[in-house]
Chain A
Amino acid sequence: MNPLLTVSGLTVRFQLRDAVVAAVTGLDLTVRPGELLAVVGESGCGKSVLAHALLGLLPANAAVSGKALLTRAVGPPGPVDLLACGEKTLAREIRGRRIGLIPQSPATALTVVRRGRRLLAETLRAHRRDPGLADQVAREAGLDPADLERYPFELSGGMAQRLATALALAGEPPLLIADEPTGGLDRPLVDHTLDLLRRRCDDGAAVLLITHDLAAAERVADTVAVMYAGRIVEHRPARELFSAPAHPYSRGLLDALPDREFRAVAGHPPMLTALPRGCAFAARCDRVSGACAIQPAGPVACHHPLTTAEAPA
């Protein structure tokens, strides 16, 4: 199937008073209809910046380059470039309609002075759908319609999360971006949220799941992109990555899981204001050599990837 979203060479820089933050560098990825792609990595690796760049939600000091082509449903033929189409197109055609966002910390993303029902009904109306569908959309998101009568501050973290999900589903977008949708939820709720995303995929939507939670990615993802210091270092089918990680950083992250070695990756991530010229992971890597002074590329961005035999089972 043709990709729904094709990102190539996405680069985001933030201009600070006395430094430039290299938040995302030369990022390539594709998402197909029915695919759940998980982007994983440590906090500060650039995964949320990726989501915000695609939706045109970056602050004014951000400089974005590259391409992000999204298939159009109506209008002129050919895909739309999310990075070049401008605010008007994003607001009218993309946000909520082609791409739904489940934001990080939904409790702070909801308008506090409106009840859930009014938020959802007005969102449905904006998408030219019947506001009477609110109960049905709420149920799809796992929210009891009775809870729509509450104000956001009366909702628990899990309920606010489900209301935000309902709002994202209201426009029936073919691409859903979920930015840390499981933060602060307990296990049953995490599993419920993940299963909901999985169901959307099985119904033909595409999902970009941004998470630090490897167990979550392992549960539902078809493909996984591991990000480190603003670059994707390993991009492979989930089953392969979790059974035989090839990039030393991916292996390190998996080894840190409590049901594996429970051992942290040695050292610390580099400063995004002063990235090395070559591989950004070299300073923490036990396989480093002279070759690592040159930036590696490919689906496994490493000059010395692990073989299947070396990877933990």
Chain B
Amino acid sequence: MSLVADGVSAGYHGRRVLTDASLTIGAGETVGLRGPSGSGKSTLVRVLALLHAPDAGHVTLDGERIAGVRHRVPASVRTRIGVLFQSPRAASDPRLTLADLIAEPLRAVRHPRERIAGRVAELADRAGLTADLLVRRPHAVSDGQLQRACLARALVHRPRYLLCDEATTMLDASTQALVAAVITAEQQATGMGVLVVSHDPALLSRWADRVTEVR
């Protein structure tokens, strides 16, 4: 079982930013990914998350070669991959409360309403979000609190793979350690595969089982 990028080349508006990149994330494994700014790390994450169509190469999810991106991929396939982005502000709808933010992916696939509240409460608790925070909107919480809500949202579908794109770079040391601990606990419970994209050698050597590089 694995999430694989195989010979992926990708870019935007004809401008190539990633050439022939291959990467495998096995179940239960934590893979570190590093590389200089502009080397295409985020683009590789977007391709793996089925958000961006590669110009060449393909993504294989648990042995199944994926055709298409975004809504062309069945929801049951897309929800096997969770993503945690660098900027929680840019990745959250300012109109939603944190509780609705966490519940949104469940509502999007018409999850039974009576089971949503329980799942949100469970994840909020694991991410250390108290009830008074869950009723607030993004502008009324700190970056660290918002990123913890985004983490809860990323885990809400029990993804088999979680992609973290510089997800702790803007967090203080304590929040970074908390986010990593929540992810590691989920991984131990479910055998989730994790990709950690980071510039920080200390973080990668502590968190990842192995580190690969994009050039």
Q: Which residue of A lies closest to B206 (CB)?
A: A258
What chain A residues lie within 8 Å of B176 (beta carbons)?
A: 256, 258
Q: Does A189 contact B (CB under 8 A)?
A: yes
Contact A258 B200 (CB under 8 A): yes
Min CB gap A199→B, angstroms: 22
Q: Does B172 contact A (CB under 8 A)?
A: yes
Give the contact-size bracket for chain B: 20 to 34
Contact B177 A256 (CB under 8 A): yes
Cα A248 to Cα B180 with chains together (Å): 22
Cα A9 to Cα B169 with chains together (Å): 32
Contact B144 A256 (CB under 8 A): no
Contact A264 B175 (CB under 8 A): yes
Per-position contact with A for B163-205: 1 when CB-CB < 8 Å, else 0? 0000001111111111011000000000000000001111101
Out of A186, A190, A212, A268, name the residue touching B172 (CB < 8 Å): A212
Contact B206 A187 (CB under 8 A): no
What chain B residues lie within 8 Å of A268 (beta carbons)?
A: 128, 130
If A184-B86, A187-B199 touch, whether A256 touches B173 (CB-CB below 8 Å) is: yes
Contact A214 B177 (CB under 8 A): no
Min CB gap A180→B, angstroms: 8
Q: Does B114 contact A (CB under 8 A)?
A: no
Contact B171 A43 (CB under 8 A): yes
Q: Which residue of A lies closest to B170 (CB)?
A: A183
Per-position contact with B for A164-196: 1 when CB-CB < 8 Å, else 0? 000000000000000000011111111000000
List A216-264 residues whose CB lies under 8 Å from chain B.
Answer: 252-254, 256-259, 261-264
Interface size on A, residues (CB 8 A): 32
Q: Which residue of B lies closest to A44 (CB)?
A: B142
Contact B144 A186 (CB under 8 A): no
Min CB gap A124→B, angstroms: 29
What chain A residues lie within 8 Å of B104 (beta carbons)?
A: none
**Interface centre among B132, B177, B200, by most A CB within 10 Å?**
B177
Cα A66 to Cα B113 with chains together (Å): 53
Out of B128, B130, B169, B177, name the residue touching A262 (CB < 8 Å): B177
Q: Does A158 contact B (CB under 8 A)?
A: yes
Contact B172 A41 (CB under 8 A): yes
Q: Does A285 contact B (CB under 8 A)?
A: no
Min CB gap A145→B, angstroms: 21
Could you show 28 A-B contacts with beta carbons less than 8 Å apart? A42-B142, A43-B142, A44-B144, A158-B37, A184-B170, A185-B37, A186-B37, A187-B201, A212-B170, A212-B171, A212-B172, A212-B173, A215-B200, A256-B173, A256-B174, A256-B177, A257-B177, A258-B176, A258-B177, A258-B202, A261-B177, A262-B177, A262-B180, A262-B206, A262-B207, A264-B174, A264-B181, A271-B132
Beyond the given pairs A42-B174, A184-B86, 9 more chain A to chain B contacts, judged by CB atoms under 8 angstroms and listed by A's residue number, are A183-B169, A187-B199, A212-B171, A215-B200, A215-B202, A253-B174, A256-B173, A263-B177, A264-B181
Enumerate chain A interface residues (CB-CB to B < 8 A).
41-44, 156-158, 183-190, 212, 214-215, 252-254, 256-259, 261-265, 268, 271
